[in-house]
Amino acid sequence: MFDMNALLANAAGVTQSGSRPAKTLDSFPLIPQKSKKRLDVSSQLHLDIGFDTEYVYNPATKQNDILSYQSYVVLPDGTGVPGILYPASAHKKDRLSLKNFLAKTLTPLLKNEQINEWPGSITLYAHFLRADVASFSDFWSDHKILLKGIRSTVSSFKNRYGIDFDEVETRREKNSLITFDKRTSPPRCSNVTFTDTLLITPGGMGLAECGQLLGLPKLTIPAPYSISDMRQYLKGDRRGFEAYAVRDAEIAVRYALQVKSFCTESLMIERVPTTIGAMAVSRFLKTIKESGQSPEVCMGTRTISQQCWNPDTHGFRTLKSTQSIPSRELYETFAINCYHGGRNECFMMGITPESQWYDYDLAGAYTTGLLGKVRISGEILLG
């Protein structure tokens, strides 16, 4: 049997040294070893943080001037800690990064011994998240990829709630591992997750309605100030401005925790879904299991496993996903295609007048139109 390495060395005109053993194909494994530089989270401590931003639109720059970043941290014992941070100026260059915002929010808690270790996981809550999360300076460069568009807003889980119930019960939010300080022991690393409380309200309720449900009313802005110019409110009544701003963050996190309690105690589902629709689906699937039936048999699905490369761990990981069986796909595709709509046209014959023409689209046209129909009597149908 010939030596492949020696053959290649001779062909290349390279003289192999006998001081070190020659490398073979076995020296280069198919699956590399996991990186030893990957940091783990600091601790098992979890913190829920509501956050909000106040800003005014600047017509000169055609951008928002960020006035403040406010937070409301709920400690494990339920105690709330309000906070507000002001950027050095309203210019875009002075906006806080997400990492800086969290560091400045959590560091005082350690110094004041309100927490005794750096949290290993953090969930950030905001009502209509899209309006606030883009206020961080590093959002567009570092964190935009973590967020998925859901019902015109954003939330940090990977898949959409769909008609096929894909992975609803096992859906996990995508975490962003952020390293705050490597010099400490252990390093300050936290998994950060975003959740939009707008998606867990019936009918997309506003923050004021959520506050009423909690008995925590949203504060009003007194005259002569207005929501359109919060800068004047800050200048004229700083204390009132801060109370108003922090209350919004408090309502967001308190409402989210109330929903979490409802899911675990009333619905008895282990993981809290990130949309109100997914809550119903999770409870439905749990009911099927409790009745001794198989969700896969009832729903016409199957679980498949596939391996994919994880660049963070430099290794393969096995992912499980739910797919429809062929017989379900046959009928499901037909049903889905029925909702694709038709072609609508409006036209005139002959010479048409010169004018501006508008095509109006009614939101929820089919359901809205059906509301005007007379209720059909079963007795008439049966003769």
Residue 94, helix vs strand vs coil: helix
pLDDT (0 to 100) of residue 27? 59
Please provide the size of the chain in residues: 383
pLDDT band at 3; cut points 50, 70, 90: low
Contact 198/127 with Cβ under 8 angstroms? yes
pLDDT band at 128 (very low <50, low <70, confident <90, very high): confident
% of the chain exceeding 90 in pLDDT: 39
* Residue 174: other Cβ atoms inside 10 A: 16
Average pLDDT score over residue span 157-176: 39
CA distance 192 to 159: 18
> 0.75 exceeded by the pTM?
no
For residues 187 and 111, which has the higher predicted lDDT (pLDDT)? 111
38 or 55, higher pLDDT: 55
Closest CA to 137 of 213, 41, 63, 33: 63
What DSSP string describes 249-308? HHHHHHHHHHHHHHHHHTS--SS--SSHHHHHHHHHHHHHHHTT--HHHHHTEEEEEEEE
Q: Spell out the domain ranges in the chain.
A: 46-293, 297-328
Give the C-alpha distances (Å, rounded to integers) separating 197 from 76, 103, 150, 342, 362: 20, 23, 12, 35, 27
Q: SS3 helix, strand, coil % of the chain, rounded to 5?
A: 35, 20, 45
pLDDT of residue 119 exceeding 90: yes
CATH topology of domain 46-293: Nucleotidyltransferase; domain 5 (3.30.420)
